[in-house]
Amino acid sequence: MRSFSLFAAVLLSAAAASAQSLPPQGADATFEVATWNIENFGSGSGGTAQREAAAEVIRQADVDLWALQEIVDATDFQALLQELVDDGYRGILGPTPSAGGAQRLAYIYNEDVVTVVFTRSVLQGNEYAFAYRLPFEMQASVTVGGQTQSLRLLNIHAKCCSDQNSYNRRADAAAALKEFTDEYIEDGRAVMVLGDFNDRLNVSISGGLSPYRPYRTDPDYTIATYDIDRLNVPTYCSNGSCTSGSAIDQILFSNDLAASYVEDEDPRYEEVVSAFSSYTSTVSDHLPVIARFTLVPVSAEEGPAGAAALAVAPNPVRSQATARFTLAAPAEVRVDVLDALGRRVVRQSRTLGAGEHALPLDTSALSPGVYVVRLEADGAVSTRTFVRVR
């Protein structure tokens, strides 16, 4: 056992030492939230190197709020916060599971953006259904670009495994959770659920219907991880390159946040796999998953007369985006990119025929931030928000 621990420590030290630069995911004009299961963080085998790797991920990602799962050692968590204090991050560790388990929930947040009102465990009486890890709630006030949003977040780490008993427990937990979040929606409160759901939303890892199907079919909720869940693109990694596994880490939220949500077909922070040597065996067997919000009103996605809704991809973008739309008839088309102050920074004008169109937009010279693509065809206008990252 001692030789194994020494070997693991050597691997982890090598992983930390070989960490490469990670692309930042944050921008001053957006609120970013992430969920990350840091596998048995602080359990002993990871040691200092796992903590240093976690600090590098959080620091370089530049995300405003992290919901974390599997925090095993409180001392290591405090040491992680100490490493991040000069970067403006603070954190809160949830209570020990009621049955004495080691894995706890936690939040780490940028204090310049997030003001914590309170945190608490909720849904007491459902301990067995939640594997004794009750949802850890945070009420926060989030301020970005002069806009402030009150938000309730529920960080969960559901019961694992594909056997029938585990499925039943997840189903019971999901039912209790949805009843709880539905009440917030009825009261007009914005709510977000994120964490390790230990199951998919479209179908279950146990086969058959997902225990979270009521969320997927309820029009009052938007699922940030819908696309990767539908395709089962892994967030839990069963091999070293994370090309196999399951989409079990999820983010969903009430629809009063939908207008501010910046859509992303693949919200995984998969760059961590190549940034660290043996990431899945030395840092975590889960990928971080990220969602972004502008917290400012955006227009509906209705296209101009005779044009289908405007779409921009990829989103977020680094050097070049593509604006896609369909014209029912030939039209004079103008596509502008506007910055947060409404200034035009990119323009394209041309006459296009009926059919599908994909216009490239060079964003390489733009500073990181939130931008609006404005499509005008025959006098009617449609807009779409996107985020430029470094």
pLDDT of residue 331: 86
Is 246 in the same domain as 322?
Answer: no
pLDDT category, 217, cuts 50, 70, 90?
very high
Containing structural domain, residue 324: 311-388
Is 205 in the same domain as 333?
Answer: no
Looking from the CA of 389 toward its CB, the CA atoms found within 13 Å total: 19
114: domain CATH number? Answer: 3.60.10.10
Burial class of 330 by CB neighbour count within 10 A (0 to 12, 13 to 18, 19+): middle
Is 242 in the same domain as 323?
Answer: no
pLDDT category, 307, cuts 50, 70, 90?
low
Q: What is the pLDDT of residues 236-247, one digit of tens each?
A: 999 999 999 999
Strand locations in 97-224, DSSP E? 104-110, 114-121, 136-144, 147-157, 191-196, 221-223
pLDDT of residue 178: 98
Q: Does residue 202 belong to any structural domain of this protein?
A: yes
Prior bond of 314 cis (ω within 30°) = yes
User: Is the model's pLDDT at 18 over the cut of 80?
Assistant: no
334: domain CATH number? Answer: 2.60.40.2550
Is 219 in the same domain as 245?
Answer: yes
User: Is the model's pLDDT at 199 over the cut of 80?
Assistant: yes
Whole-Å CA distances, 268 to 6, 271, 347: 31, 9, 31
Is 83 in the same domain as 189?
Answer: yes
pLDDT category, 296, cuts 50, 70, 90?
low
pLDDT of residue 17: 41
User: What's the rounded Cα separation, in Å, for the pair 35 and 250?
Assistant: 8
Is 333 in the same domain as 266?
Answer: no
Q: Does residue 206 belong to any structural domain of this protein?
A: yes
How much of the chain, in percent, has pLDDT values that exceed 70?
Answer: 91
Most confident of 16-25, 73-82, 259-268: 73-82
- Of 83-92, 271-280, 319-328, the one with minimum mean pLDDT is 319-328
Token code pair at residue 335: 């596509």
Q: Does residue 301 belong to any structural domain of this protein?
A: no
pLDDT of residue 50: 95
pTM assigned to the model: 0.78
